[in-house]
Amino acid sequence: MRNKKLNDLGVSAFCESMAMMVQSGIQMDEAVMLLMQERGRGGILEQGLAVMKEETEQGRSLSAAMKAAGIFPEYAIKMVAAGEATGRMEDVLFRLSRYYADQSTIAGKLKNAVTYPAVMLLMIIAVLAVMLTMVLPAFTGVYDQLTGSLAASSYSYIRWAYAFCWIALGVMVVLAAALILGYVLWSGKRRQVVERAIGRIPICSSILESMGMFRFTAALSTFLASGEMQDTAVIESMGMTDYKPVEEKVRRCVGHMEEGHSIAQAAYDEDLFEPVYGRMLLAGERSGSLEQVLGRLNGLLEEHCMELVDRLVGVVDPLLSGVLMLTVGVSLLSVMLPLIGMMNSIG
């Protein structure tokens, strides 16, 4: 059980439930017990809650109980500990719930964006395989019987169909293999290799950067809400980006902050955000509403990330559908042209 982690949606639901109980004034051990009674269906969370129940009954804090359960992300545990230290537990839990819910939504979008091209590639490969093993050989046999030799006949269009299908099949197989390899590397410890590769594609680079900025602002907003100092909050949030180019930008901002600049000024000087967002942050800091502006900025970044993913799907969808239609259309046209010529000669 300790090797398994709760998914983002599960962490979001847990944090929201705990936040509402804290809001109602329920003690931690009672809150954990209520959650156990509410679930009662087994699974990772239920096993984790059983461990947490023992920990809280012994007087340990919620963050210590979450760590002992071994099913929660390190970031969530760290944020709960910060909320306990500053007395802002309720606010931190609600923000964590929102953060992990957003993470789940974006992850679902990205999964769909990858799944659809994968299915389309498999369909194209299957269609091409049928064309090469069944359709084209059938036409070849017919023309061989009619002309004696396909190579010696005037009906050589069918050879174009063979060549076109083999080339298209080779390309599709290479793309499918690249997609599978990328998924394996991304899921393993070679994620940076995949990032560097797809980072060369403008729209993919924009998606990765937008996701990195979304994670950073969400973490920064939660850290600040927990009462952390700005410099500590930025440093702690830097590791949440999961994208090297964004992390490097944040690191440069930390350098500016060490020279005495605020986070808003450092972000503006380093172009961490788009100019309009940078000015929003400056205005929020000067008006004393930095946390609220970060929350609004986080929502805008999430929308931008969703828009980029939808745009990518919008490009890939017609492209792969067009390849499928073009391949089948050209192949069928190539094998039908000799038949049309024969019918014209008979007529």
Helix (H) or strand (E) holding 337: helix 290-346
CB 297 within 8 A of CB 280: yes
Boundary (domain end) residue, out of 18, 41, 72: 72
Does the residue 84 lie in any domain?
no
Same domain for 61 and 106, yes or no, is no
Same domain for 52 and 135, yes or no, is no
**What domain count does the chain have?**
2
Does the residue 90 lie in any domain?
no
Same domain for 337 and 221, yes or no, is yes
Predicted model pTM: 0.71
Does the residue 174 lie in any domain?
yes
Boundary (domain end) residue, out of 41, 72, 103: 72
> What averages of pLDDT result for each successive group of 10 residues across the chain (347 residues)?
73 88 84 73 77 87 88 85 81 86 81 78 85 79 63 60 82 85 75 74 81 83 78 82 84 86 85 84 84 82 82 78 77 68 57
Does the residue 86 lie in any domain?
no
CB 16 within 8 A of CB 94: yes
Angstrom distances, CA of residue 322 to CA of 121, 124, 234, 286, 317: 12, 11, 46, 52, 8
Same domain for 335 and 205, yes or no, is yes
Does the residue 89 lie in any domain?
no
Could you list the residue range(s) of the whole structural domain that residue 63 is in? 8-72
Does the residue 80 lie in any domain?
no
Name the DSSP class of 38.
Answer: H
Same domain for 107 and 46, yes or no, is no
Rounded CA-CA distance 43/330 in Å is 53
Rounded CA-CA distance 311/207 in Å is 10
Same domain for 211 and 340, yes or no, is yes
Same domain for 246 and 297, yes or no, is yes
Reduce the secondary structure of 253-312 to three states and give it as a string.
HHHHHHCCCCHHHHHHHCCCCCHHHHHHHHHHHHCCCHHHHHHHHHHHHHHHHHHHHHHH
Same domain for 145 and 25, yes or no, is no
CB atoms < 10 A from the CB of 200, how many?
A: 8
Does the residue 126 lie in any domain?
yes
Same domain for 267 and 196, yes or no, is yes
Same domain for 172 and 312, yes or no, is yes
Does the residue 3 lie in any domain?
no
Same domain for 48 and 108, yes or no, is no
